[in-house]
């Protein structure tokens, strides 16, 4: 059944969705490498020739004025949009034009600019949804329906692991609340927790500090650093708050009108005259 | 105690079925056995439709179509077997149930695969069309008896066996659907309902899980149809029209889009309907429809109108319950998978705007992500 | 000749579908809801014709159109307006409730009788006399009077509606509301007012459609609106829901398919199947419909 399903799906992908990108893996020392990544909507080039190189355990910032194409790059990297040019590689493996869930399985997880939680589910279940795809929690529909021992074993293990993840974010006490009842800051954290639960190699954070007060922001900086150290994680984030970026990121890329304006280590890139011009104008 | 509380619905339905079976052996009037069969069928239909509407957050307007397939396939098989096995033999019934369920499930797969890839109301439209197609084909095909309907073996003697089987299927339905929902697969399904974009980003294969929910729902609708085929001697395609699908949907919605709510509302509405129809008859049967419609509109407006939100929060049954029983609102007792239907975001968002232009699609991007189309929520 | 006749029949049947489909499309585009009570407005319109026909056919037609428009506004105010901002499913269920309500009310008021009003024979008694009975013959070509009137009406209504939406203030406000309700409100458009007008126009069109069907002296019953309603909805989707030319095109395509399918004896019983299969195939090939706009979701 599953095989038939895959066959039909790949047929639909090829014939109806016209998904013709040929994937070729490359040798790469970087966790994420993009080569000439770009997309155009009709005539509008939303992102163009984006070349990111992100090393392991790095916190990498993607900054730029409003409408610069930052979120578009995220959408390309997570398969929401299919790039019209270029390709991207995770540890050398070409993931271009894969469906969103496959990209997530390969190891890219993300959060959203406007929080997208599973609002009518409890906090712990939100995280457990993220855990479900890992091979160690595998459990077929049949086993679940007929409540075979495997089901209980897997459920228990998932609950345990979810609690551990929530503990890192100080959310363990809230685990039985509905996600929509959490305060804003905790919702942001829960979203990161859910992304982490999918066991990614690269974590994409879309404006994680948006709408937070200075205290919460500082707390977030620490949390992100903890995530990197504890989970051996590489993080790519979008942010507007320059203080936040310069305090956290090792390297940054500055985008403007869909093209790369400057890149390199945080200080040099931020002092680049083009960047200052783009932000301040003139 | 906890086990009893968790499985209350099985226990109640099981014991009711058991008592009725004992009474049935002693001898129940035909009207009551018929009512029990109707209730069993309604519960199966409602609980299975709730899988799609309540848990998957999609709208299906062709549930009667799947039931129709189950009824005709099961009924035809029983009719074919009646010479060799006997039309109302238990083995025949089981075979008919299996065949009816399987055929409906296959149709669910075929219908669901394309429709569920698209976001928005497409499933509602496609199932609506599907229901009409099934009805039209069946009533014109000689194999299924054509316009006169399909002659199928009806339980006349030992009628209690039929509702006993019916209630066993009810238990099976609740068992399967409840267990799916309370597992990682169910979590994936409710996650898709809550936020499809986030679900995809969290690694859920959205099409697969949507299809899973939809096919399971279709299978049980097929089972209900096969059961139905034994309650009457002549299956008419007109029974399974669009209005019947809507009736099931109304039962699910009035039940609050939970499993237990669907069971209760299916029982009450079917019983009320049947009793009112037989007791009042004639002219009042029309007034019944009117009252039914009015209640439906008023309940929906009362439960959903944004203007009445404060009023609802102040005076509701839940608060009353808490007041009477001094029940504390302890966070650990919060029911998860809350399927309050006023919060279920059913996707009526193909979101095309009114236009008088004739649009030529020259955007030139071939990404054609039809899976992503839909409106800003 | 046979072909031409079928074609013209198809156009007129399709024109009626198109008129009903316009109501679906406009309401969907502006209020973002599937108005399942729309089909029953057709039924109400037909009953109004039955009611007023003894007075005068012209009075009956005008009364049906105006009263249906008022009914549309009334339904919107009572049933849909309180739910603005609530979940779409709630609105949909209310629409279903309204549809039940209209049907049962009609049943109570009109009773179980079926009627066959024939306004055309009262309007044009000279044409309806024997032996031609409403058939106009020009040379070797003959056309039914009802078909001719339908075609003319449909052409006028569609042109008028297109011009209305394109060139009047209200029409442009409608497009604005459908594009972005919030922004339209900020621009000083009274959204409630626009939605009300939409319902009025949609219902008036449904009434007109029902009048055109009664010209064929067809049966009037409480469930007469369901099937044309669903088919018109299919037409709206085929053409691209939200698109006014799309609804017209979809309706006419569906009408043509219906008439040509019915002209072939072998497949005539399966007309409904063919029509709805067309809908499903359309959704597979181009989910937005023939003239629908493609929009991208913002993530």
Per CB-CB distance under 8 Å, the chain B contacts of A118 are: 190-191, 194-195, 198-199
Question: Does residue B63 lie in a domain region?
Answer: yes
Q: Decide if C294 is inside a domain.
A: no
Whether A261 has a pLDDT exceeding 60, the answer reads: yes
Q: Inspect the interface and report whether the beta carbons of C299 and A75 lie closer than 8 Å.
A: yes
* Per-residue pLDDT tens over the stretch C91-148: 888 898 899 899 889 888 887 778 888 787 777 777 666 666 667 777 777 788 888 8
Q: Which domain holds residue B23?
A: 2-304
- ipTM exceeding 0.85, yes/no: yes
Domain ranges, residue C192: 2-285
Nearest to B188 by CA among B158, B208, B171, B170: B208
Distance from CA of C142 to the nearest CA of B (A): 33
Going by pLDDT thresholds of 50, 70 and 90, the confidence category of residue B310 is confident
C1 at the A interface (CB within 8 A)? no
Residue C109 CA: distances (Å) to CA of B254, C99, C113 = 28, 16, 10
A17 touching B, CB under 8 A?
yes
Rounded Cα gap, residues A54 and A165, in angstroms: 25
pLDDT at B336: 41
What residue of A is the nearest CA neighbor of C295? A41
Average pLDDT of the residues of chain A: 86
- Label residue A18 by pLDDT band (50, 70, 90): low
B242 Cβ neighbours under 8 A, 6+ residues apart: B61, B64, B128, B131, B132, C226, C230
- Asked whether residue B326 is domain-assigned, the answer is no
* pTM given for the model: 0.86
**B331 band by pLDDT with thresholds 50, 70 and 90:** very low
Chain C touched by A71 (CB under 8 Å):
yes
Does position C2 have pLDDT exceeding 70, yes or no? yes
Per-chain mean pLDDT for chain B:
80
Question: Is the domain defined by A27-107+200-282 classed in CATH 3.40.720.10?
Answer: no
| B374 part of a folded domain | no
For A182-214, write each residue's pLDDT tens digit: 888 889 999 999 999 999 999 999 988 888 888
pLDDT reading at B330 higher than 50 = no
- The rounded distance, in Å, linking the Cα atoms of C171 and B62 is 35
Per residue, what are the HEC states of chain B? CHHHHHCHHHHHHHHHHHHHHHHHHHCCCHHHHHHHHHHHHHHHHHHHHHHHHHHCCCCCCCHHHHHHHHHHHHHHHHHHHCCCCCCCCHHHHHHHHHHHHHHHHHHHHHHHHHHCCCCCCHHHHHHHHHHHHHHHHHHHCHHHCHHHCEECCCCCCCHHHHHHHHHHHHHHHHHHHHHHHCCHHHHHHHHHHHCHHHHHHCCCCHHHHHHHHHHHHHHHHHHHHHHHHHHCCEECHHHHCHHHHHHHHHHHHHCCCCHHHHHHHHHHHHHHHHHHHHHHCHHHHHHHHHHHHHHHHHHHHHHHCHHHHHHHHHCCHHHHHHHHHCCCCCHHHCCCCCCCCCCCCCCCCCCCCCECCCCCCCCCCCCCCHHHECCCC
Tell whether C299 lies on the interface with A, counting CB pairs under 8 A: yes
- Domain of residue C194, CATH code: 1.10.3470
Tokens describing residue A169: 């974010």
C67, part of any domain: yes
In a domain, C49, yes or no: yes
Residue C119 covered by a domain: yes
The share of chain A scoring above pLDDT 70, in percent, equals: 93
pLDDT digits (tens, 9 = 90+) for B238-269: 889 888 998 898 898 888 888 888 999 999 99
Quick check: is B331 in a domain?
no
Q: Which residues pair with A63 in a beta bridge?
A: A254
- Our count of domains for chain B comes to 1
> Which burial class, exposed, middle or buried, applies to C123 when counting CB atoms under 10 A from its CB (0-12, 13-18, 19+)?
middle
Taking an 8 Å cut-off on Cβ atoms, the answer to whether A137 and B370 are in contact is no
Q: What is the pLDDT of residues B162-201, one digit of tens each?
A: 888 898 999 999 999 999 998 999 999 999 988 888 999 9
The Cα A150–Cα B52 span in angstroms is 27
**Closest partner residue to C299 among A16, A41, A80, by Cβ?**
A80
Q: What is the mean pLDDT of residues A241-261?
A: 86
Cα separation, B82 vs B88, whole angstroms: 7
Q: Provide the number of structural domains found in chain C.
A: 1
More confident site: A15 or B158: B158
In a domain, B296, yes or no: yes
Q: How far is CA C267 from CA A184, B141, C258, C273, in A?
A: 61, 12, 11, 10
Q: Is residue B221 scored above 60 in pLDDT? A: yes
Kindly state whether residue B172 falls inside one of the protein's structural domains: yes
Tell me whether residue B52 is in a domain.
yes
C173: in domain: yes
CATH of the domain at B62: 1.10.3470
Q: Positive or negative, the Cα torsion across C33, B363, A71, A240?
A: negative
In a domain, B351, yes or no: no
């Amino acid at each position: 059944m599953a095989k038939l399903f895959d066959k039909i799906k790949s047929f639909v992908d090829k014939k109806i969705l016209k998904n013709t990108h040929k994937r070729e893996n490359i040798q790469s020392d970087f966790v994420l490498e993009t080569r000439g990544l770009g997309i155009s909507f009709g005539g509008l080039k939303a992102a163009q020739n984006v070349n990111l190189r992100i090393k392991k355990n790095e916190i990498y910032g993607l900054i730029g004025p409003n409408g610069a194409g930052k979120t578009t790059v995220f959408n390309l990297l997570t398969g929401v949009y299919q790039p019209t040019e270029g390709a991207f590689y995770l540890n050398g493996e070409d993931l271009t034009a894969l469906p969103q869930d496959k990209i997530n399985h390969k190891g890219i997880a993300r959060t959203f600019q406007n929080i997208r939680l599973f609002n009518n589910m409890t906090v712990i279940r939100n995280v457990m949804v993220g855990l479900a795809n890992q091979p160690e929690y595998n459990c077929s529909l049949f086993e679940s329906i007929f409540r075979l021992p495997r089901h209980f074993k897997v459920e228990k293990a998932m609950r345990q692991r979810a609690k551990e993840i929530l503990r890192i974010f100080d959310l363990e006490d809230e685990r039985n609340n509905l996600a929509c009842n959490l305060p804003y800051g905790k919702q942001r954290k829960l979203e990161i927790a859910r992304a982490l639960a999918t066991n990614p190699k690269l974590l994409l954070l879309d404006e994680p500090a948006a709408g937070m007060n200075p205290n919460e922001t500082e707390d977030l900086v620490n949390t992100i650093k903890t995530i990197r150290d504890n989970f051996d994680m590489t993080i790519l984030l979008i942010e507007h708050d320059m203080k936040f970026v310069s305090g956290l990121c090792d390297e940054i890329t500055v985008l403007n009108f869909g093209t790369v304006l400057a890149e390199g280590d945080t200080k040099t890139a931020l002092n680049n005259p083009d960047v200052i011009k783009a932000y301040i104008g003139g | 105690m906890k086990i009893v509380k968790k499985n209350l619905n099985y226990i109640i339905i099981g014991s009711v079925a058991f008592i009725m079976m004992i009474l049935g052996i002693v001898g129940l009037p035909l009207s009551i056995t018929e009512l029990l069969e109707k209730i069993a069928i309604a519960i199966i239909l409602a609980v299975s439709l709730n899988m799609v509407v309540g848990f998957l957050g999609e709208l299906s307007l062709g549930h009667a179509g799947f039931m129709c397939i189950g009824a005709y396939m099961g009924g035809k098989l029983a009719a074919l077997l009646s010479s060799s096995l006997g039309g109302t033999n238990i083995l025949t019934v089981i075979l008919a149930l299996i065949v009816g369920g399987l055929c409906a499930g296959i149709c669910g797969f075929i219908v669901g695969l394309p429709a569920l890839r698209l976001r928005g109301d497409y499933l509602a439209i496609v199932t609506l069309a599907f229901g009409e197609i099934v009805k039209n084909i069946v009533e014109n095909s000689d194999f299924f008896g054509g316009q006169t309907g399909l002659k199928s073996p009806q339980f006349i003697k030992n009628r209690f066996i039929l509702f006993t089987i019916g209630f066993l299927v009810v238990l099976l339905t609740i068992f399967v659907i409840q267990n799916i929902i309370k597992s990682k697969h169910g979590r994936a399904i409710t996650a898709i309902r809550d936020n499809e974009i986030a679900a995809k980003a969290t690694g859920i294969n959205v099409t697969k899980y949507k299809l899973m929910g939809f096919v399971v729902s279709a299978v049980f609708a097929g089972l209900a149809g096969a059961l139905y085929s034994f309650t009457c001697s002549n299956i008419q395609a007109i029974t399974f029209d669009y209005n019947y699908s809507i009736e099931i949907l109304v039962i699910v919605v009035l039940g609050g889009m939970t499993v237990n709510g669907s069971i209760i509302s299916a029982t009450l509405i079917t019983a009320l309907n049947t009793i009112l129809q037989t007791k009042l008859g004639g002219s009042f049967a029309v007034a019944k429809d009117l009252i039914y419609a009015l209640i439906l509109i008023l309940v929906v407006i009362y439960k959903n109108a944004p203007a009445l939100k404060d009023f609802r929060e102040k005076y509701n049954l839940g608060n009353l319950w808490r007041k009477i029983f001094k029940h504390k609102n302890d966070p650990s007792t919060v029911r998860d998978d809350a399927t309050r239907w006023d919060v279920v975001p059913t996707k009526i968002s193909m979101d095309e705007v009114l236009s008088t232009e004739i649009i030529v699609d020259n955007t030139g991007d071939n990404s054609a992500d039809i899976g992503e189309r839909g409106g800003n929520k | 000749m046979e072909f031409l006749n079928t074609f013209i029949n198809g156009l007129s049947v399709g024109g009626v579908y198109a008129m009903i489909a316009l109501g679906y499309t406009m309401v969907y585009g502006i209020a973002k809801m599937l108005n399942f009570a729309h089909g029953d407005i057709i039924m109400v319109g037909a009953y109004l014709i039955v009611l007023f026909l003894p007075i005068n056919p012209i009075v009956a037609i005008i009364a049906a159109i105006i009263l249906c428009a008022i009914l549309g506004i009334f339904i919107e105010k009572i049933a849909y307006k309180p739910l603005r901002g609530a979940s779409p499913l709630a609105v949909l269920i209310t629409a279903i409730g309204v549809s039940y309500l209209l049907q049962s009310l009609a049943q109570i008021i009109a009773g179980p009788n079926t009627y066959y009003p024939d306004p055309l024979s009262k309007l044009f008694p000279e044409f309806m006399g024997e032996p031609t009975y409403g058939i106009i013959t020009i040379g070797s070509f003959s056309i039914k009077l009802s078909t001719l009137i339908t075609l003319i009406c449909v052409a006028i209504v569609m042109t008028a509606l297109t011009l209305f939406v394109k060139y009047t203030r209200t029409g442009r406000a409608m497009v604005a509301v459908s594009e972005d309700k919030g922004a339209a409100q900020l621009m000083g458009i009274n959204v409630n007012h626009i939605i009300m007008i939409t319902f009025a126009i949609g219902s008036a069109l449904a009434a007109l459609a029902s009048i055109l069907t009664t010209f064929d002296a067809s049966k009037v019953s409480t469930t007469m609106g369901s099937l044309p309603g669903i088919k018109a909805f299919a037409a709206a989707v085929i053409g691209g829901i939200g698109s006014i030319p799309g609804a017209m095109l979809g309706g006419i395509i569906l009408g043509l398919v219906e008439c040509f399918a019915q002209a072939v004896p072998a497949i005539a019983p399966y007309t409904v199947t063919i029509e709805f299969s067309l809908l499903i195939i359309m959704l597979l090939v181009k989910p937005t419909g023939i003239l629908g706009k493609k929009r991208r979701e913002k993530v």
